[in-house]
């Protein structure tokens, strides 16, 4: 149990790979490549928490 506050570096408004199609543009990399690039960039920036914000879909 934590007895002190703990802070996380977060990115809480990240678009998923399919968002570019919602914007009417062509995706030039695969979803897996997008996810790997997102992971690499997040790790490089020291981000510990990612929140995906799929505003282009209401599917569950």
Residue 49 binned pLDDT confidence (cut-offs 50, 70, 90): very high
pTM as predicted: 0.75
Q: What is the mean pLDDT of the segment spanning 42-57?
A: 90
The DSSP code sequence of 13-53 is EEPPTTHHHHTT----S-HHHHHHHHHHHHHHHT--EEEE-
Using one digit for the tens of pLDDT, what is the confidence trace for 1-41?
Answer: 778 998 999 999 998 888 888 778 888 999 999 999 999 99
Domain boundary assignment for the chain: 10-52
Residue 59 binned pLDDT confidence (cut-offs 50, 70, 90): low
């Amino acid at each position: 149990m934590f007895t002190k506050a703990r802070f996380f570096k977060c990115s809480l408004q990240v678009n998923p790979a399919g968002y570019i199609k919602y914007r009417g543009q062509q995706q030039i990399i695969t979803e897996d490549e997008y996810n790997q690039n997102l992971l690499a960039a997040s790790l490089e920036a020291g981000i510990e928490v990612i929140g995906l914000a799929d505003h282009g879909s209401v599917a569950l």
